[in-house]
């Protein structure tokens, strides 16, 4: 991600957080989730991107179209207006960075720890609930859990939070065993 993009995203994110916090309640969290979904939609729907970037589509038309899509999807008026403004300013390239930066700012403001858990298979609801409970107890904070599946880990779980990685995967354990055997210890 370019530094310019992240800097522009930070400006949008700070302003958006101020407005969202003024609205009170869980609006900041709702907006965080909506922005992530909108950024994901834009990245995973090539037909949408092509339609918005087609010749003859003005920035104003692009803004209105995205606002209509956001409204139809049930997004908050603030997110609908934001994507419209970003489109009319030709700043949509900053949307993924904005979603990321805004999410970070909201989590810091709400004392929420972002955690990424990677396992060989999808966690069951019971496993996920137990993991979240253990992470809440460990961190003393609310937890936002992002789950990924990577069959290459073979089993177990790798957890990343607060800049650290806790690797309890079978692959990591096999690697440690291999190193011990190679060193003769």
- The three-state DSSP-derived secondary structure of 3-71 is HHHHHHHHHHHHHHHHHHHHHCCCHHHHHHHHHHHHHHHHHHCHHHHHHHCCCCCCHHHHHHHHHHHHH
Position 67 scores a pLDDT of: 84
Q: Which of 35, 83, 77 is nearest to 59 (CA)?
A: 83
Position 1 scores a pLDDT of: 43
Position 135 scores a pLDDT of: 92
Contacts of 75 (CB under 8 A, 6+ apart): 34, 38
Q: Both ends of the chain: CA-CA distance in Å? A: 43
Position 124 scores a pLDDT of: 92
- For the chain, the residue count is 185
| Tokens describing residue 166 | 């806790």
If you ran DSSP here, which 8-state letter would residue 123 be given? Answer: P
Position 169 scores a pLDDT of: 87
Position 2 scores a pLDDT of: 47
On whether the CB atoms of residues 71 and 80 are closer than 8 A, the answer is yes
Kindly give the confidence (pLDDT) of every residue in the chain, 185 residues in length, as a single tens digit, with 9 standing for 90 and above.
445 567 778 888 998 999 999 988 889 999 999 998 888 876 677 777 777 777 787 888 888 888 888 888 888 889 889 888 888 888 888 888 999 999 999 999 999 999 999 999 999 999 999 999 999 999 999 999 999 999 998 888 999 998 898 988 888 888 888 888 888 76
Distance CA 75, CA 25 (A): 16
Contacts of 134 (CB under 8 A, 6+ apart): none
């Amino acid at each position: 991600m370019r530094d310019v993009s992240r800097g522009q995203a930070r400006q949008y994110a700070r302003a958006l957080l101020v407005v969202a916090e003024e609205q009170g309640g869980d609006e900041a969290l709702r907006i965080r989730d909506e922005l992530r979904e909108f950024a994901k939609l834009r990245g995973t729907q090539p037909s949408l991107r092509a339609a918005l970037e087609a010749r003859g589509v003005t920035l104003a038309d692009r803004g209105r179209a995205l606002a209509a899509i956001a409204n139809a999807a049930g997004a908050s008026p603030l997110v609908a207006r934001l994507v419209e403004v970003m489109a009319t300013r030709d700043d949509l390239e900053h949307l993924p960075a904005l979603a990321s930066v805004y999410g970070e700012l909201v989590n810091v403001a709400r004392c929420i720890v972002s955690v990424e858990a990677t396992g060989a298979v999808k966690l069951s609801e019971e496993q996920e609930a137990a993991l979240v409970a253990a992470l809440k107890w460990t961190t003393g904070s609310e937890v936002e859990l992002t789950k990924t599946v990577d069959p290459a880990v073979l089993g177990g779980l790798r957890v990343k939070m607060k800049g650290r990685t806790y690797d309890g995967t079978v692959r990591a354990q096999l690697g440690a065993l291999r190193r011990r055997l190679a060193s003769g210890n």
